[in-house]
Structure 1
């Protein structure tokens, strides 16, 4: 008889499958790059640093004083995480044997990740970025009532890029655009957009770029200013997942500085229980939990611009 795989080995196999699914499918995976600066504390809090330094002063040659002292400050701000999501799945012991369980549950969890987890994470992250742009005072980082056409799409995107560059940010900008916006831009540029190599999740892909900014084609249902998360228990919410928020606005495109959003995943874990261990039923059981969030620091909020198709009110 083949050696029995234990629950830990099962979980490791599933975790690898889930990690691969995320790397291949997450459109906002690039936002995870900034998580290295985060300090994880207990409970639901994380700390993210903000650096402030004084500007240049005159160098004094007289009196051997030379350099004028300046102030450099690293201050950590505390943020509270809110997205604690999970699901349990069961496979009856008599529906699948041990050897087939790995392949069957691996396929199931991969499909769950691709069709449910990844879209929700993308939609949540993008909605927070869009809402951040909307909330900048005086509407400097948002434009409302925009109907994108091939005649105006270039000027609209250039205006968004200029708005962020005027803040003194000269780093990488990323454009999330609906497929309609991307199509209008391709038509305006006569399908001559430059292609660039875009790396996310350790995988190199080729994407179009405009003014050196990679364009990530994004489903329109992710490009909204708010989403509603179903709890999986309340009547009408049993299916879980997410939906567009009741008062959410639709976004044509979003321009984001690469260092503005800080995406954090505190837990991304699979637990697996064999029928012998599972006390609830004579079934294989797999639990999935993802504890995550996204934050934009106060001094980075003007580094995001949103083009909104709806009116302001």
Structure 2
């Protein structure tokens, strides 16, 4: 058993990296570490940004007008840091033939780490300023034709923003991808084949906003992970119904949409104060627009002999990285949400 544990500890990093690559829907967007360098502080990196002047008049007598090329270094702080310590009793592990320890790490990465990492990234990218928002107030698609038309329109918006056609990736809800694939193959191929990759994203990962749980007993959040964010409401201050505005009535702790609001009931109406999570329909991401970099993703395994507090196998996992985008390339991120 001891030899197998040592072998597991040695191979765990490579095995877990493969799990991440296979299960994550955002791993395609990781940037090469050679493109970044450490900042003055340990919690930041320096990213090179190239800018240059445009064309100028050409004079047949004096020739070319000088222009400038500017290579600046943008300092960006890491914005994602999480960790967890898990333990399993040595007897429990031995009685299962080592199954617990063998599966603990890969299952943790597959079911806990990757879903959260994906969710954090999509929520971050979809909330950035100056991205291409297909419908700011939200939209729903009922047919495959509507989905394909929306994708085509979004691609045109990226074209008009002069986002390069290559390296555009589609992330889409399973339901909408199924609808699109049922449309005639000719139409389907004209649009879907234009993406560098297509991956469907489970609903819980594909949200405009999430809340990370601390994992602390004192916060009542021991389970850790993340949750969706509810809308918050407030009593409206309107004195009469505003045409097109959505109002709600309150029943217990639930808010119910008013289909036909009337002035005489306006004092009982609520409106949304802060918008919570919204399902994302699809995202089109131009990979060079993103600053997605994992500085540290490490798992440490400790044997019962190394456990000074008990007789357990302990697994420590820590993740530290950056999920952001270049400010001048955000038009290359298109989002459609409900």
| Shorter-chain TM-score tier | 0.7 to 0.9
Q: Please list every run of 5 or more consecutive structure 2 residues that lacks an aligned counterpart in the other structure.
A: 231-275
Q: Secondary structure at the match of 1:145?
A: coil
Please give the per-residue CA displacement for 1:46-94, whole angstroms capped at 9, x wherever unaligned.
22222101123455564xx654432111112222223211111212222
User: SS at the partner of 1:256?
Assistant: strand
In the TM superposition, residue 172 of structure 1 has moved relative to its aligned partner by 2.0
In the alignment, does 2:134 pair up with 1:142?
yes
2:67 to 67, 70, 73: 70
TM (normalized to structure 1)? 0.82
Give 1:1-313 correspondences, 5 Å limit.
Answer: 4=3, 10-33=8-31, 35-41=33-39, 42-58=41-57, 62=61, 66-97=63-94, 101=98, 104-132=100-128, 135-136=129-130, 141-143=133-135, 144-150=137-143, 151-170=145-164, 171-190=166-185, 193-194=188-189, 209-234=192-217, 235-246=219-230, 247-309=276-338
Which stretches of structure 1, 4 residues or more, deviate above 6 A after TM superposition? Answer: none
Structure 1 vs Structure 2 CA RMSD: 2.7
1:283 is displaced (CA, Å) by 1.3
**Alpha carbons 2:116, 2:226 under 8 Å: kept:** yes
8 Å Cα contact 1:17/1:106 also seen in 2: no
Please say if residues 29 and 287 of structure 2, whose CA atoms lie closer than 8 Å, have aligned partners that are also in contact.
Answer: yes
Identify if the C-alpha distance between structure 1 residues 35 and 142 changes in structure 2 by more than 3 Å, giving closer, same or farther.
Answer: farther
TM-score computed with the length of structure 2 as normaliser? 0.77
Using the TM superposition, give the Cα deviation of residue 210 of structure 1 relative to its aligned residue in structure 2, in angstroms. 4.1
Verify the 8 A CA contact 1:256 1:305 in the aligned structure 2.
yes
3-state DSSP of counterpart to 1:276: helix
Change (3 A) 1:190 1:44: same
Distance, in Å, in 2 between the alignment partners of 1:274 and 1:107 is 16
